[in-house]
Amino acid sequence: MQDFKGRVKKIMAVVSGGILLAAAPLFASPKYAIDENTMDEGAIEIDRFISSDTCSGCHSQIFEQWENSMHHLAHKDPVYSRVSQFLRKGLTDKEEIKEAESCVKCHTPVGHITGFPKKVSDDLSKTPEIAAQGIQCDYCHSAYKIKQMYNNGLVLNPGQGEDDPGIKYGPFDDCEPDFHEAKYSGLHTESRICGTCHDVKHVAFGTDLETTYTEWKNSPYNSTDPQKRVECQGCHMYQRPGIPATGSTPRPENPGSATDYSDERPHIFTHYFVGANAAVPGKFDGQIKGEMAIERLQNAATLSVDTSRIKKKKLKVTVTNSGAGHSIPTGVGDLRQVWLEITILNKAGKTRFQTGVLDDKHLLPKDALIFQTVFGDGKGNPVINLAKARQVLSDNRIKAKQSVTQTIKLPTFPGKGSTVTVRLLYRSMPQKVLNLIPGKPFEPLPVVEMAKVQKKI
């Protein structure tokens, strides 16, 4: 049997040259053929999909990794659910409403393409269980090509349910399953399959709302040198507990078996699908995924402090994106919050300067140094609601393998023997946004220390 690592390297080399080489042809069987132009109009019946619980019968370890991951919880995530409902309310502009209703296309893709839910304002409690499983097994493994690189642009070829499950696409060319057919898919080893949902454009205005895939595409990780190229899967599907697998840490292969009865392979892609969300998985018995998110965050960036001009009341702090294959933060760039907390204590332990320190209501001060995207209403005014985003006013996020230096002007020289402490902090959403949502108040989302440096003057 051909070594898997060697096969993937061969694929990477050919893809980087602009030609896709597959060990087996990628096509939809005429029996299940789907018109890609109708993929977003509920043309597929939901009973054509298989529940992930069925997949667990043979793929128990992979199922356990996926269960209560953020892919699994994409539809059930209570923060997403309440925030998306809130952002929909009060809108009167038809184009803004269209965008606010569209979150389901990626958060419950099976529901969206099978007809329910079609929009955020549908009664989501009636979502069929298979659709409520978020980004579930059969959705990804029925994908065989792409029609657009944003807003869930995958084209699917599902079977006819459990009685005739059809073709499942994946990264191996020598599978011999007895429940479904299997075809090798180079697409499943490429960042492009991730990019179809991890790039999001405003459905009416075309504003780039999420650009995770584009950030990777424009980064050094998207190298034409196959030895330097790292696909999304090369980090996010190599991670397991204790192995954060970022761009700044080792990413060893994960030997194992894809099923409970097949031979061991050099590498099995893990299915924890961990990003930066350390809060939500733990609410669904997915604590290990939350811990892995913290591991990932703590291996994504580094800090350095330059105090050479502190007597002139100037402090330089440099943040380097050393481990993320995309910007820090990524995703919805105005909602993910990364900032610098700076504290200077004099020799006696008295605070001489601070910025970026949360108050007792978990709010940041106005002068906090935040790395974020700011969207506008088309007239230069900032907006929080993505549905209103007609423009990008600013984007100071830290690109992959790049550094950003901030110069802080101090009110006074803090004195010899003072200690400068700088922390890079992350939380999934600002408290000021959570406070806008009516109903039971949200518990403050956890703040994760990504990096910390101390220096004596």
The model's pLDDT over 172-223, given as tens digits with 9 standing for 90+, comes to 999 989 899 999 999 999 999 999 999 999 999 999 999 999 999 999 999 9
Pair of tokens at residue 56: 């667990």
CATH number for the domain formed by residue range(s) 300-456: 2.60.40.10
Which of 285, 308, 123, 106 has the alpha carbon at shortest distance from 209?
106
Q: How far apart are CA 34 and CA 32, in angstroms?
A: 6
Identify the burial level of 391 via C-beta atoms within 10 angstroms of its C-beta, where 0-12 means exposed, 13-18 middle and 19 or more buried.
middle
Q: Pull the structure tokens for residue 393.
A: 């006013």
Please work out, in degrees rounded to the nearest 5, the angle formed at the alpha carbon of residue 417 by the alpha carbons of 411 and 422.
60
CA–CA dist 155, 196 (Å, integer): 10
- pLDDT (tens digit per residue) in 16-75: 333 333 333 333 444 444 555 445 556 799 999 999 999 999 999 999 999 999 999 999
Give CA torsion, residues 435, 438, 441, 447, to 10 deg: -40
Structure confidence at residue 102 (pLDDT)? 97
Q: pLDDT value at position 1?
A: 37
Please give the Cα distance from 369 to 355 (Å, whole number).
Answer: 8
Q: In percent, how much of the chain has pLDDT > 70?
A: 91
Rounded average pLDDT over 409-424: 97
Query: Which tens digit of pLDDT belongs to each residue from 67-87?
Result: 999 999 999 999 999 999 888
The answer to which of 7-11, 122-126, 444-448 has the lowest mean pLDDT is 7-11
- Domain assignments of the chain as residue spans, ordered by start: 4-295, 300-456
User: Token pair of 195, please?
Assistant: 């990019």
What is the DSSP pairing of strand 167-170 with strand 351-355? unpaired
Q: For 272-331, how does the pLDDT look when each residue is reduced to its tens digit (9 = 90+)?
A: 999 999 999 999 999 999 999 999 999 999 999 999 999 999 999 999 999 999 999 999
Give residue 439's pLDDT: 82
What is the SS3 assignment for 426?
strand
